[in-house]
A and B are shown apart, each in its own frame.
Chain A
Amino acid sequence: MSPVERIKAIDAKKRFVMAVLIPTILFFLFFNVIPIFYAFYISFHEMDFLNPPKFVALDNYKALIGDTHLTSSLLVTAKFAVTTVFIGGAFALFFALLINSVKRGQAILRTVYFLPVMTSLVAVGVIWGWLYQPRFGLLNEVLKLFGIPRQMWLSSPTTALPSAIAASIWQGMGYTIVIFLAGLNAIPESYYEAAQVDGANTLQKTWYITLPLLRPTFVYLLITGFITGFQVFDQLYVMKGPLNSTRGFIELLYTRAFSYYQMGRASAMAFLLFAIIVTLTLIQFKIVSRNQVEH
């Protein structure tokens, strides 16, 4: 059979699916897969795109060891990821349970909480930067009304990162709430009715029914939250704190690549981050795969 005859032999539906998929696959190949392999190649070279590349074997990776700037930026990123996942998740669960308990107006509440998610991260960072302004910002003016001394927020190395994290939690919470609401809606009402009959109160229903049956949702949010958290850039770049207290890993990578043209070193950093995220994801999978709860 010739290639043309083979194509004609495939039925129209399959031909349509291939016609739609092939451009997507090609796009993915040229703009994702190939650049990733090329970045891996670059990571073994001294390269700035302005001069011929020089093979340096593992020097770029060795330079990452003992790089104090890298270590401190990784610590900032890790603190950001852990805090946004757990504290952000806790707040989101709380609000999701509240919204779920409301009989009318759930759609409006969902929209209100989701609005910040649709806002540009940079815009959020700039606005919060103004709210946090120690001398003239709105937050300190509100604190003044309650007799609380003004805080330095983004202007102090000790409070800058927590301030940036708080703004990020506010911005991203709506997404987590929506995911939790979907999980809550999947729990059959009959379980709560049975518990009601057995005399369980609200707290007991939440602890023995809701939380265990939300486990798949927790797993999803934990894994995706860490993956996203470790790649944070916009919020920390805009809401800069003093003494590099909010300088994340991706910002350092970006500076090395595009301010210093150290493409090889930046690529090595990218693969280090990839290894960290993959390791964390595998650990999480291993932990959460135990004690599965089913309906």
Chain B
Amino acid sequence: MRTRFVALTLALVLVLGMAFTASAKVTLRHWDWHQPRMNLKLKYMEEYEKLNPDVTFETQVIGWEDYWTRLMSGVAGGDVPDIAQFHNSQTQAFLNHLEAYPADLFDYDRYKEEIINFEAAYLFDGTFHFYPVGIMTGLIFYNTDLWEAAGLTEADIPTTWDEFAVIAKRLTQYDDNGDIQIAGFVPNGILGVFWLDLHYQLGGKLYGEDAKTVDWYNDAGIQALEYIEKLIYEDRVTEMGFLSFSEAMGTGHAGMVYSWSWLGGELNNNYPDLNWAVFRLPTFDGKLAPGPIARNNHETGMSVMKAARPENKRAAFEFLKWLYEETDYLVEVNLILGTAPSNVNLLDDPRITSDPLISAIAEQVPYTNIPGEIPFEVENDYGLGMLEDLIFFGYPAAEALRTAEAEANGVLAERPVKWYVEDLYTPVAE
């Protein structure tokens, strides 16, 4: 009887002990859409698990096209990851479902000093919900073999758009029928976005007052678009129906293209034999200040979901604090993504300065602006994307702008922009 009682008590203590140990373990679920970035995170997660045996991770990579639908379904169905990789294009939809980074763990005041565009790009009602990682902007990519074959050197890299047009013409090659074989400059597939940067350089903006409308049909907009028209129809450096900018660059049919810096990763992965380099955008007067000379956008970090369990949320933030501020993750992820670190203290890191793509972004970024949210259809089918179609279909610049502006305003009337920060840009002293 006594033996049984002791055995029973010991068994109970063992079971309770195991239950206690089991309940102290936290499993953090994480979703991302970018496999290379996830691979980097897995490396750090493994390290974190060794340092914190009570924490384990469950990860999943979901393709970009399905990611937001899955997350939306997860929010609706109560099945969300604790930590979700985020993108600021989804801010309006998901902001109310993201937990604010706690001020006791994350130094808001320091971020205001150290993070580029922190208040404009990250603060909503005084709190931030996704960590600042990197910044992307538009650059000129060029084929160094074609550049050399045309007798050009690094000294010929243009700083004005007039110089740029001359270089583009020099790089263009025609076949015996007079058709373009190698395009000197290919904005095909991204013409509207390229135009917006030129528009900024001439003093224009994306939005009108309070972002209720766009503000494209004006002197600056027309002048910017007429420059592009001249490249196409007078200088003949590209034409309607030519390959898109990424295809043309990758297959060696473009001397130069305009693209955001993500193209670097695509070229390295899909066209490893291509020799390419980048330079910052020229301007109409050759100067960068006061700016803005282009748009930027932030490649944002991870968010903790509001629907995560309370004990998981704290553990998640503690992991993110460690990852972002006590490891080399931020440098390494920016190298993978081809973005310049949002934190100015990292811009001098030798790994960053030795990367020519990120150096070019870092040079340009202080002179770039983030307008806030741009609805999908304003950036594509009924706005900037339409501008390209109109120009290639022969519309004069003014009429193209008027038409595209009207379509974009129609979209905004139905789907107003809530996150608008375009006026927060601070001109840089000359």
Contacts and interface: CB of A to CB of B under 8 A. Distances in A.
Interface of A: 48-51, 68-69, 133-136, 150, 152-153, 155-157, 242-244, 247, 255, 258-261
Given A50-B93, A50-B94, A135 B179 contact: yes
Interface residues of B, number: 31
Given A50-B75, A134-B241, 8 more contacts: A134-B240, A135-B241, A135-B242, A136-B253, A150-B179, A153-B241, A255-B376, A255-B377
B393 A258 contact: no
Given A50-B76, A135-B179, A261-B72, A247 B381 contact: yes
A134 to B, nearest CB: 3
B295 to A, nearest CB: 20
Which of B73, B241, B243, B393 has most A Cβ within 10 Å?
A: B241
- Interface SS of chain B: helix, strand, loop or mixed? helix
Nearest to A155: B241
B76 A244 contact: no
Interface in B239-270: 239-243, 253
A151 B269 CA distance: 33
B392 interface: yes
A49 B76 contact: yes
A157 B382 CA distance: 14
Which of B69, B390, B393 has most A Cβ within 10 Å?
A: B393
Contacts of B68: 258
A255 B375 CA distance: 12
Contacts of A157: 389, 393
B179 to A, nearest CB: 7
A243 B390 contact: yes
B35 interface: no
A51 B240 contact: no
Given A255-B376, A255-B377, A49 B241 contact: no
Interface in B66-83: 68-69, 72-73, 75-76
Contact of A49 (B73, B180, B375): B73
Contacts of B76: 49-50
Contact of A243 (B73, B75, B239, B393): B393
A117 B94 CA distance: 41
B403 to A, nearest CB: 9
B383 to A, nearest CB: 12
B415 interface: yes
Contacts of A150: 179
Contacts of A242: 388-389, 392-393
Contacts of A133: 241, 243
Contacts of B253: 136
Contact of B93 (A153, A155, A261): A261
Contacts of A134: 240-242
